[in-house]
Amino acid sequence: MKRLSICLVGGSGFIGQALCAALIRDGHAVRVVTRGMRLPPNLAVLPGIEVVRGNPYRAALLRMAFAKQDVVIHLVGILNEAGRDGSGFERAHVTLTREVVSACRAAHVPRLLHMSALHANEQGPSHYLRTKALAERVVREESGEVAWTIFQPSVVFGRGDSFINRFASLLQWLPVLPLARAEARFAPVGIDDVVAAFLRALQDPKTIHETYQLCGPEVFTLRQLVHYVGQLLGLRRWVVGLPDWAGRLQAALLDFVPGKPLSSDNFKSLTVDSVCTENGFARLNLVPAALREVVPTYLGAAQRAARLARWRQTR
């Protein structure tokens, strides 16, 4: 395999950390653009990783970071914004993507891999889905000679994710969990399989100018996922599905809670099932793992061991 110089924008996030580790394992030279003064521990221990610190919205910084790179991987995305008018989504998804594409062209980067979202749609119900679609249009229409590939995953799970682990945390403290859009459907995809899709695109020129939906092999409702997490943790909890009027009210109230565990925009995104309409993994000649095979390897085991230790101490 040819050794590539690869720059990641958004490389310090959940997906970026896993992708950086895989790229370095495969012998590639990896550069990460980050605002933070310190790398996350999982990145800091990786050998040979190069860090470019600064504001990724600065065109000059991106052009400098992309110089002499074979590939740029753009992973930046937000699930919520500070306000409620969509401007935060517009800036993070559309404005930054336009800066990345422009810098790729200026630095003569031949290849761009872009992370989008399943069912991104310019007429979608949420700012998140609409701005993700607008970012895709920027990639397709403004990349010029840069060979792009777009990935559209369903919700991504894995050790350290913000989805399965968020519900695990909530279930630890709440005997009753009121759940908006409890029947919304997902086909969760494992982080290792998402990483494998990116690695395959680096090797296969047939992926150029293609878009891939990425879903796991199992479909769950949100209620089923929460129940499953509770079972793994050994917790008996009531999960109460809210009617939509109550779910909208819950989301509107949580708009003002720090961290926004559920926002009005999240609620609108949940009105679109996160299930694939085509099998991107099959097109990539990959077979994704089932959630039920992976999640028990990192969720539940530690909690059960802690409970056993506490029980032994009381004997």
Buried residues in 281-296 as b, exposed as e (16+ CB within 10 A): beebebebeebeebbe
């539940």: which residue's tokens? 300
Per-chain mean pLDDT for the chain: 93
Distance CA 124, CA 146 (A): 28
Domains of the chain plus CATH, in order, are 5-161+189-216+275-290 (3.40.50.720)
pLDDT, average across residues 282-305:
87
Q: What is the pLDDT of residue 38?
A: 79
Asked if pLDDT for residue 310 goes beyond 70, the answer is: no
**How far is CA 115 from each of CA 19, 194, 296, rounded to the nearest angstrom?**
12, 10, 27
Give tens-digit pLDDT for 200-258: 999 999 999 999 999 999 999 999 999 999 999 999 899 999 999 999 999 999 999 98
pLDDT digits (tens, 9 = 90+) for 99-111: 999 999 999 999 9
Predicted model pTM: 0.93
From residue 227, alpha-carbon distances to 108, 223, 239 in Å are 49, 6, 7
Average pLDDT rounded to a whole number, residues 121-138: 98
Residues 260 and 254: beta-carbon distance below 8 Å:
yes
Q: At what angle do helices 191-203 and 14-25 cross, to 10 degrees?
A: 50
- Do residues 91 and 27 touch, judged by C-beta distance below 8 A? no
The C-alpha atoms of residue 59 and residue 100 are separated, in whole angstroms, by 8
By three-state DSSP, how is residue 17 classified?
helix
H-helix or E-strand spanning residue 7: strand 5-9
pLDDT at residue 308, rounded to an integer: 55
pLDDT tens-place string over residues 67-101: 999 999 999 999 999 988 999 999 999 999 999 99
Residue 44 has pLDDT above 90, yes or no: no
